[in-house]
């Protein structure tokens, strides 16, 4: 008697993963458009909001309107080796901002630096190594950056990961949560003193931008438990990604409250960049992906439109003093009830702080806490 074992070729599995990813993207687009017919039409037509910007505004437009090239600012942009982060770094550097790019892939970062310098020979780009899923790597990056003695006006927490299967970081934490949320939490904590000092020395408002996603609306309080986020019993990639994106907003809400209590001249906000064809399907190019993307292309943003909200929140005088808010299409927008819950934000901050203090390689990390 013979048994036949069918092993699916990896190309079929890859196609299934691609289809799943594309379906998720289309659902996200629909969710982001559904709230009202008016909002849908506004998005599709690119109708501008009260501040003069809308879904079709590009990062370059926003940056040109927002700052004079004579203003010498320093910004850190995570995840700038591709997609929305690369465009953010490009337009900021073109306008004279000194851009620090922490990257895990230094070759990619060097290539980006070369292409920015080719377009803008005056650009000042500093590259340094970081793996945002590793506490030790973040500590190394921060010591290195702080030892340069540079000011820090803007921190853009943009890097993001979507992991279809369960993986763990070197700190033994689920990889999506470790990268998208915990890594940026620690990075922000370690750099906050520098941002606060720069703001008080220069009188220029410090700005922190957490890049979240409209997909955060998928999560409710029932499926948002800190211990399960660290080590989920059953894993779903889209859910893990959405949970990390709620955490990005809750982080912005709680830190904003603390900064206000300290009377620091620093704001922190969260943004949804829009749906952009970026690295999320980087490894799955092919007929199916390209066809589905072609069909959905009228609903997608270009990378430059995708970087616009981040640049608006990081630079525009129109958001001066606004903190703890959520933005989409360069306008203030509504986030989910969970993301708005002050108690949840405070709880998450305390749990995160306790975890990091337990796991950190001993070093002087001053937590921002206004207890
Ligand atoms: N694209 C969209 O439709 C969309 C929609 C809503 C929200 N977002 C958010 O927008 C942000 C940017 O995403 P994107 O679409 O531009 O994605 P992307 O093209 O895949 O870029 C992600 C960036 O994050 C970096 N990164 C990932 N893991 C890292 C780690 N462990 N350490 C350091 N860097 C790491 C990547 O570096 P490598 O080059 O080394 O991989 C890359 O530079 C993300 O936060 C994402 O969640 C995107």
Least confident of 11-15, 54-58, 227-231, 303-307: 11-15
**Is residue 155 within 8 Å of 188, Cβ to Cβ?**
yes
Mean pLDDT of 26-37: 61
**For the chain, percent of residues with pLDDT exceeding 90:** 74
User: Residues 304, 275, 216, CA angle at the centre, nearest 5°?
Assistant: 130
Determine, yes or no, domain membership for 101. Answer: yes
Determine, yes or no, domain membership for 1. Answer: no
In terms of Cα–Cα distance, which of 85, 127, 40, 47 is closest to 314?
85
Distance, CA 211 to ligand 1 centroid (Å)?
9
**Is residue 194 within 8 Å of 146, Cβ to Cβ?**
yes
pLDDT in tens, 33-46: 555 556 666 676 77
Determine, yes or no, domain membership for 3. Answer: no
Q: Catalytic one among 235, 293, 312, 326?
A: 235
pLDDT in tens, 312-348: 999 999 999 999 999 999 999 999 999 999 999 999 9
What pLDDT, on the 0 to 100 scale, is given for residue 6?
43
The pLDDT mean for the chain works out to 88
In angstroms, the CA 67 to CA 64 distance is 6
What pLDDT, on the 0 to 100 scale, is given for residue 47?
76
Domain tally for the chain?
A: 1
Q: Which of 21, 106, 279, 289 to mutate to test the pocket of ligand 1 (most atoms within 8 A of CB)?
A: 279
What pLDDT, on the 0 to 100 scale, is given for residue 71?
87
Determine, yes or no, domain membership for 2. Answer: no
Distance from CA of residue 291 to its chain's centroid? 27
Determine, yes or no, domain membership for 6. Answer: no
Determine, yes or no, domain membership for 364. Answer: no
CA distances from 248 to 97, 182, 287 (A): 25, 9, 34
What DSSP designation does 83 have?
H
Q: Greater confidence, 236 or 280?
A: 236
| pTM tops 0.85, yes or no | yes
Distance, CA 63 to ligand 1 centroid (Å)?
21
Q: Distance between the two ends of the chain, CA-based, in angstroms?
A: 71
What pLDDT, on the 0 to 100 scale, is given for residue 35?
57
**Does the pLDDT at position 25 exceed 80?**
no
Mean pLDDT of 272-282: 75
Query: For residue 31, what are the domain limits?
Result: 12-359
What pLDDT, on the 0 to 100 scale, is given for residue 281?
47
Mean pLDDT of 167-180: 97
Determine, yes or no, domain membership for 215. Answer: yes
Question: Is the minimum distance from the CB of 85 to ligand 1 under 6 angstroms?
Answer: yes
Q: Which of 26, 76, 85, 129 to mutate to test the pocket of ligand 1 (most atoms within 8 A of CB)?
A: 85
Exposure on the CB side of residue 99, measured as CA atoms within 13 A: 33
Q: Which atom of ligand 1 is nearest to the CA of 78?
A: 34
User: Residues 117, 118, 120, CA angle at the centre, nearest 5°?
Assistant: 55
Which CATH number covers residue 162? 3.40.50.720
In angstroms, the CA 163 to CA 179 distance is 10
Q: Which atom of ligand 1 is nearest to the CA of 248?
A: 45
In terms of Cα–Cα distance, which of 254, 253, 248, 252 is closest to 224?
248
326 is catalytic: no
Determine, yes or no, domain membership for 237. Answer: yes
**Does the pLDDT at position 283 exceed 60?**
no
């Amino acid at each position: 008697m013979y048994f036949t074992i069918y092993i699916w070729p990896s190309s079929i599995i890859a196609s299934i993963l691609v289809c799943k990813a594309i379906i998720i993207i289309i659902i996200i687009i629909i969710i982001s458009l559904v709230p009202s017919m008016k909002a849908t039409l506004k998005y599709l037509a690119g109708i501008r909001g009260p501040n003069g910007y809308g879904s079709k505004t590009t990062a370059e437009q926003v940056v040109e309107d927002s700052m004079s090239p004579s203003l010498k600012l320093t910004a850190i942009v995570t995840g700038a080796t591709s997609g929305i982060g690369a465009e953010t770094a490009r337009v900021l550097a073109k306008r004279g901002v000194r851009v620090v790019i922490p990257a895990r892939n230094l070759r990619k970062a060097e290539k980006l630096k070369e292409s920015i310098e080719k377009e803008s020979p005056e650009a000042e780009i500093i590259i340094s190594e970081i793996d945002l899923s590793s506490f030790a790597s973040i500590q190394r990056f921060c010591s290195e950056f702080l030892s340069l003695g540079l000011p820090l006006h803007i921190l853009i927490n943009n890097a993001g990961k979507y992991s279809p299967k369960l993986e763990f970081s070197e700190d033994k934490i689920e990889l999506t949560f470790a990268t998208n949320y915990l890594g940026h939490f620690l990075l922000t904590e370690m750099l906050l003193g520098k941002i606060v000092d720069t703001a008080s020395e220069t009188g220029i408002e410090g700005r922190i931008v957490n890049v979240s996603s409209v997909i955060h609306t998928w999560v409710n309080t029932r499926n948002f438990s800190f211990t399960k986020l660290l080590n989920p019993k059953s894993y779903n990639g889209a859910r893990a990604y959405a949970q990390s994106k709620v955490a990005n907003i809750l982080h912005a809400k709680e830190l904003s409250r603390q900064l206000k209590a300290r009377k620091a001249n620093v704001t922190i906000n969260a943004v949804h960049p829009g749906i952009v064809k970026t690295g999320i399907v980087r490894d799955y190019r092919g007929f199916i992906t390209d066809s589905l993307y072609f069909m959905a292309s009228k609903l997608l943003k270009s990378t430059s439109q995708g970087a616009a909200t981040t640049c608006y929140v990081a630079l525009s005088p129109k958001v001066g003093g606004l903190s703890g808010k959520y933005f989409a299409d360069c306008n203030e927008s509504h986030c989910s009830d969970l993301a708005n819950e002050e108690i949840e934000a405070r709880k998450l901050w305390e749990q995160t702080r306790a975890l990091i203090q337990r796991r950190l390689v001993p070093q002087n990390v001053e937590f921002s806490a206004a207890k």
